[in-house]
């Protein structure tokens, strides 16, 4: 998996109280800081505010957020009898190992009030790991790259803004975004 990102770094988010999630210390300063992709979605409460808060909490917890896409309003996929979502994607760097990063995003979801619900059901925040540079993964808890990454317009369109040249499974993200059915996906503005 390779890519070249030319997007400028995102502006820093609003000042927020210290989060309840902390990022474990890397074992050594020399650990590689790999680039990771995050997919964010919400359809309860104030979804756009929830996405901004999630990114701010991840940044406070030590994740180096390098780029954030626009916000998109998207028709629910999978389970359709629920409110529209707001979706966005982010690129970050971290020395965390994949499962430690999953722990961090799941702790962030819980800190924001996410409770177990039906699969694909409504939620105040969902943070998916889309990929970790040079770290494919498949076990009970985590699959990388994310299985739905190249099939879902609500992921591909925001990701194509910030990582157009990323190649997953032989396909370039910008090309996949160009080819996918984008009905029900509306860009609503800057993050
Ligand atoms: N898991 C495995 N791989 C990953 C990964 N790469 N990133 C496991 C994150 N988690 C991963 O996830 C269920 C389990 O997947 C986790 O315990 C983790 O160990 P979850 O977030 O608790 O449940 P979920 O989100 O309901 O299921 P899933 O399969 O992650 O669904 P998606 O893909 O997140 O879809 N429609 C629109 N328009 N926009 C959306 O954002 N989201 C969904 C949920 C459905 N429809 C949507 C949207
Ligand atoms: Mg999910």
CA of 128 to the centre of ligand 1 (A): 6
Which residue has 């770094």 as its token pair?
Answer: 9
Domains, the chain, ordered by start: 31-189 (3.30.70.560)
Beta strands (DSSP E) in the chain are 34-42, 64-68, 71-74, 85-94, 126-132, 137-138, 143-144, 167-168, 171-172, 185-189
What is d(CA 140, CA 149) in angstroms, rounded to the nearest whole number?
Answer: 18
Q: Rounded to the nearest 10 degrees, what angle do helices 98-111 and 47-60 cross at?
A: 130
Dig out the tokens for 18 from the structure.
Answer: 């210290």
Is the Cβ–Cβ distance between 104 and 23 less than 8 Å?
yes
> For atom 13 of ligand 1, which residue has the closest CA?
119
DSSP tag of 172:
E
| pLDDT in 10s for each residue of the chain, 191 residues | 554 444 444 444 444 444 455 555 555 556 789 999 999 999 999 999 999 999 999 999 999 999 999 999 999 999 999 999 999 999 999 999 999 999 999 999 999 998 887 888 899 999 999 999 988 999 999 999 999 899 999 999 999 999 999 999 899 999 999 999 999 999 999 99
Active site residues: 114, 123, 126, 128
Question: Mutate which of 77, 120, 186 to test ligand 1's pocket (most atoms within 8 Å of Cβ)?
Answer: 120
């Amino acid at each position: 998996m390779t890519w070249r990102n030319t997007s400028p770094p995102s502006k820093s988010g609003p000042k927020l109280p210290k989060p309840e999630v902390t990022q474990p210390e890397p074992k050594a300063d020399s650990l590689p800081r790999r680039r990771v992709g995050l997919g964010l979605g919400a359809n309860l409460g104030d979804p756009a505010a929830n996405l901004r808060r999630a990114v701010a909490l991840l940044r406070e917890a030590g994740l180096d957020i390098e780029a954030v896409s626009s916000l998109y309003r998207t028709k629910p996929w999978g389970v359709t009898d629920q409110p529209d979502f707001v979706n966005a994607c982010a690129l970050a760097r971290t020395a965390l190992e994949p499962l430690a990063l999953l722990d961090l995003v799941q702790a962030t979801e819980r800190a924001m009030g996410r409770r177990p619900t039906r699969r694909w059901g409504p939620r105040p925040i969902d943070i998916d790991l889309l990929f970790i540079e040079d770290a494919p993964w498949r076990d009970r808890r985590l699959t990388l790259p994310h299985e739905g990454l190249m099939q879902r317009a609500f992921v591909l369109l925001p990701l194509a803004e910030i990582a157009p040249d990323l190649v997953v499974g032989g396909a370039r993200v910008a090309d996949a975004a160009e080819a996918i059915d984008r009905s029900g996906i509306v860009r609503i503005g800057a993050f």
